[in-house]
Structure 1
């Protein structure tokens, strides 16, 4: 069943077109990757889905969730969807965390707002979520502030916040880029486990084809605001048709070759 459908999504800033006729659909529970270099439009596509583009953006086309059009809706209407039906994990979790609020309270926000849990119920669920995302000594860490956690721990908090309301669609925008290789692998495994457990659809945004290959089944390659190529992960890896995709694949192979000696140390 189709969960998300994007048709002819075009975004302009003044005379500059940054997204040009984007079209794709995502089924419930499916894992789809958006890959491209910086400036390709992949992150803008995710922000457009959430209705978080700057006010000066000129947007046309269609973004439908569960058959309901999202473009043109007020921020108040979209706020009922964000964190509920759609949630997002950001590249740098500090951008999504309030530095003045304990992380446990931030995780409990979606639980109380969207699931209607009492304070006591929310606290129990916060501890459960913190343990599920692999935070050590969860009962202690949920009382910490963001600056007291490591980068990997903050990203786990961001994931806990995103999945707290059991969204139908999870957007992950470069969620492992700022992490070292070991923590990166742990976060990717965690995301895969959570979306499988909850039956959540995943839209994973990255510039790294090697990372993408670990979590998705279908890929859209973006460049200069357009979808250049799409297909199954297997087809994209084995027989890419666009020169841009072939270049991404060569870069991924080179990066994998460079990491191999480091892993053997």
Structure 2
């Protein structure tokens, strides 16, 4: 009986130690870490490629292809916001794109032009899954993405089609960061839509960072956005990709 009592006493002390230790570390972490905020205005030198298909009077769809991304490059402004506390963070992003480009019909070599005015707004949150002393981090993220795109198509100089998209998607993704005192690298990817808003939407960011001081860093990299949208007799597939550069203000 004495051996059994000693065994339970020893087991109780082990459990007490294992419970008390995380509470101490968690309380210390809460004392050391509060909310931190980052605001990153950036410019986006981007172009797009698209395929548009629609039906008017005839049962056969009109298919237009705009695949040469080089003749649609435009410089636009965007904004990224982030709030972080401990292992949790909240993100917001607004990206704007406006351009037009020449294309062709699938059936005949008729001059075709597509005009695009697009806003992409995101709000989401994430949780840090893996962290090696703030030098290598892996995060999971999820959120909501609104894509608003005004698309106007002209064929032989005559406006044939004018359609607006306003779709809301849920997205799931991941984020990887490699950090040092001066340099940093971020890779983010996500997928959304899945037939709920759009058929599919996605985003990829590859960003390098140089820290000038505790409150300011320079960012540069690549951003790509894509959407596949279908409704009634209309389908619009579009990818927007280009270089980004901006500054992060931390407070």
Q: TM-score per shorter chain, which class? A: under 0.3
- Per chain length, whose mean CA-contact separation is higher, i.e. which structure has more relative contact order (CA < 8 Å, sep 6+)? 1
TM-score (ref. length: structure 2): 0.20
TM-score (ref. length: structure 1): 0.20
Which has the larger share of helix? 1
Please tell me whether Structure 1 or Structure 2 has the larger radius of gyration of its CA atoms: 2
